Structure 1
Amino acid sequence: MLEATTSFLGIHFLSDYAFYAAMILWGISGLLYLYPPESGISSNDKAEVVTSSMVDSTQANAIDDVRQHENTLLFIKFFVAGCLPMVICVLANYLT
């Protein structure tokens, strides 16, 4: 609706909408894949290493594992969600 009234983006074809939607979804999924949650922080500072060895981090590691699993599932959902707009884009280009 905004595009039809203002022509702000300059998109005139259905295949363009589908292509940009797929690229946005796949871009988000790529960021989720490339930058997973950090599981631990390592340091060269002796005081930090000694302090971290005294702390029980099993619960924090369990939380990080859950976050990693949720991040992977969200990556897969965004990737699959981008497949339909890409199919629409390809079909719209071949059918017109």
Structure 2
Amino acid sequence: MTLYSVLVANSALQTVDCTGIAEITVRELKKLYPITESTPTQSWHLMDDDARVLHAADESAFENLNIFEWNNPPYDLGLYNEKPFVYGIEGNWGPQF
């Protein structure tokens, strides 16, 4: 069984993304992490420079608050909800959250 945190509403809500995860090009990623003795060759060094990837400065980004409009909500949510707007909530439910 999977647990989801969901907000539902009659009207659109503001989304929040405190993760710092951004979509950037491989070219930009190569500038951030050039090949050096401390940064060995990675699989994305072989990718096309114009390819777009998701980048986070570190793993803590996955713990930060993210409230997003859920265009493809979990299966059977319709059995519990009749409101037109569905939002997913992600992050670490710690004191800062």
| TM-score calculated relative to the size of structure 2 | 0.22
State the structure with bigger RCO (CA 8 A, min sep 6), 1 or 2.
Answer: 1
**Higher helix fraction (1 or 2):** 1
| TM-score calculated relative to the size of structure 1 | 0.22
Specify the structure having the higher radius of gyration (Cα). Answer: 1
